[in-house]
C-alpha cells in the first residue's frame, strides 16, 4: 500500500507541476496562431492512444494498459466510456456510428461500441492470426485500413512480419504493403484519394494512391520527418498517429512533437510538447480543437484549422 500511495503522490505532484508550465504554440500559417495556449488536461493515464472525436464534441481515447476507453468532455471532465476493451489501441467510427478498434488482447479488428453490436471483423489473414495491430482509419464507404507492426522484437531477435491492410465494405481483406519496417499511424486525405502511413523506423511518411474500389498502390515518400535518429530500439523518427485537417494538411505525432505538412508534403512547422506525443485527433463541435495524447498525458489546442467534416478522423 505504501508503494501505491507513493506512486499516486508522485503522479499528483508531477501533474500539478506540469499544469503550471505555460505551454504556447509557435505561429503556423493557417494552422495555429502564435502564442496559443496548449492546455494540459491530465497526466497519469495508463497508456494513451486512439483519440477519436464524437458528434457531441467530446473525445474518446484508449488506455490500452488499463483495458478501457476514456472520454474527455468539452468542459475537460474525464470519465470512463467503455470498460473491458480487449486492449483497444486505435479507434475509428463507421458511418452508422459504430466505433471500431484495433485490439491487442486477442489481436483483432472489431466493433466495440455500442455494446449490443460488438463483433470481430478481422482476426487473421490467409489462415494466420494478426500479430499486434496498431492503428486504423475508416473511409466514408465503410472500408477500413489498418496497420499491423506486430510486437517489437526483443534485442537480437529477427523482425516480425508487418503489414498494412484494407478491409472492403463487403468484408474482403487484402494486404496493401508488407515491406514497411514499423507501420504505425494511418490516415486518409479528406478526398480519400491518398492513404498515408507512418513508418516509426523510417525517415518518411509514405503515401499511396487510393483507387475507386478502395485498394491502394504506388507507394512513395510523402514527407520527410525531422528528428530521425539512432535510439536504443534502432533508428527511429518516433512517427506514430496521424491526423488531417479539412485543407488536407497532415499532422504527425513524432519524437519532435506535432509535425505539420502541407497536402503536398512540405514541412510547415512543429508544435513541441513536454512529452513525445503518440496520437492526435480533431474534436469539438466546430472541429477546431486538436487533442493530443501520449506517454500518459493528454493536451488540447485551439486551432485556426478544422478537421474534415465528412469523417470522424
| CA nearest neighbour of 108 among 98, 95, 94, 118 | 118
**Whole-model pTM above 0.85?**
yes
| CA nearest neighbour of 307 among 50, 38, 55 | 55
Tally of CB atoms within 10 A around 192: 17
Q: Is the distance from CB of 200 to CB of 167 less than 8 angstroms?
A: no
Mean pLDDT (the chain) is 92
What is d(CA 191, CA 185) in angstroms, rounded to the nearest whole number? 18
253 pLDDT higher than 60:
yes
Return the pLDDT at 22. 83
3 pLDDT higher than 50:
no
Return the pLDDT at 6. 32
Return the pLDDT at 153. 65
14 pLDDT higher than 60:
no
Strands (E), 200-241: 204-210, 216-224, 229-231, 234-236
Q: Is the distance from CB of 99 to CB of 113 less than 8 angstroms?
A: yes
pLDDT tens figures, 47-88: 999 999 999 999 999 999 999 999 999 999 999 999 999 999
179 pLDDT higher than 90:
yes
pLDDT tens figures, 143-162: 999 999 988 766 666 777 99
What is d(CA 21, CA 28) in angstroms, rounded to the nearest whole number? 21
Q: Which residue has the cell 537480437?
A: 156
Return the pLDDT at 232. 82
17 pLDDT higher than 60:
no
| CA nearest neighbour of 188 among 121, 248, 237, 147 | 248
Return the pLDDT at 235. 87
List Cα–Cα distances, 82 to 29, 38, 62, 112, in angstroms.
Answer: 38, 27, 9, 8
Average pLDDT over residues 174-183: 97
Instruction: State the cell numbers at 93.
Output: 467510427
Q: For 177, list phi and psi in degrees, rounded to 5.
A: -155, 135
Tally of CB atoms within 10 A around 125: 15
What is d(CA 169, CA 247) in angstroms, rounded to the nearest whole number? 26
Q: Is the distance from CB of 298 to CB of 42 less than 8 angstroms?
A: yes
Give burial (CB, 10 Å; 0-12/13-18/19+) of 34. Answer: exposed
Q: Which residue has the cell 523510417?
A: 202
Average pLDDT over residues 254-277: 97
Confidence of residue 27 (pLDDT cuts 50, 70, 90): very high
Least confident among 20-24, 176-180, 181-185: 20-24
Amino acid at each position: 500500500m505504501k508503494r501505491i500511495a507513493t506512486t499516486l503522490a508522485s503522479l499528483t505532484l508531477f501533474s500539478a507541476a506540469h499544469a503550471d508550465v505555460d505551454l504556447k504554440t509557435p505561429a503556423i500559417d493557417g494552422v495555429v496562431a502564435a502564442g496559443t495556449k496548449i492546455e494540459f488536461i491530465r497526466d497519469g493515464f495508463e497508456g494513451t492512444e486512439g483519440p477519436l472525436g464524437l458528434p457531441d464534441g467530446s473525445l474518446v481515447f484508449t488506455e490500452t494498459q488499463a483495458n478501457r476507453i476514456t472520454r474527455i468532455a468539452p468542459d475537460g471532465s474525464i470519465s470512463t466510456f467503455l470498460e473491458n476493451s480487449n486492449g483497444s489501441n486505435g479507434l475509428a467510427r463507421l458511418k452508422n456510428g459504430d466505433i471500431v478498434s484495433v485490439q491487442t488482447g486477442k489481436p483483432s479488428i472489431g466493433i466495440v461500441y455500442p455494446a449490443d453490436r460488438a463483433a470481430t471483423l478481422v482476426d487473421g489473414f490467409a489462415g494466420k492470426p494478426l500479430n499486434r495491430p496498431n492503428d486504423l482509419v475508416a473511409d466514408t464507404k465503410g472500408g477500413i485500413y489498418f496497420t499491423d507492426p506486430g510486437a517489437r522484437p526483443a534485442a537480437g531477435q529477427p523482425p516480425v512480419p508487418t503489414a498494412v491492410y484494407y478491409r472492403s465494405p463487403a468484408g474482403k481483406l487484402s494486404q496493401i504493403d508488407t515491406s514497411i519496417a514499423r507501420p504505425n499511424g494511418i490516415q486518409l486525405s479528406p478526398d480519400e484519394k491518398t492513404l498515408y502511413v507512418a513508418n516509426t523506423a523510417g525517415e518518411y511518411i509514405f503515401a499511396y494512391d487510393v483507387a475507386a474500389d478502395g485498394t491502394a498502390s504506388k507507394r512513395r515518400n510523402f514527407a520527410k520527418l525531422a528528428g530521425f535518429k539512432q535510439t536504443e530500439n534502432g533508428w527511429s523518427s518516433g512517427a506514430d498517429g496521424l491526423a488531417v485537417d479539412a485543407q488536407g494538411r497532415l499532422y504527425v505525432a513524432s519524437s519532435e512533437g506535432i509535425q505539420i505538412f502541407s497536402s503536398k508534403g512540405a514541412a510547415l512547422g512543429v508544435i513541441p510538447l513536454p512529452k513525445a506525443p503518440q496520437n492526435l485527433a480533431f474534436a469539438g463541435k466546430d472541429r477546431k480543437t486538436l487533442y493530443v495524447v501520449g506517454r500518459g498525458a493528454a493536451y488540447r489546442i485551439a486551432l485556426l484549422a478544422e478537421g474534415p467534416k465528412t469523417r470522424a478522423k
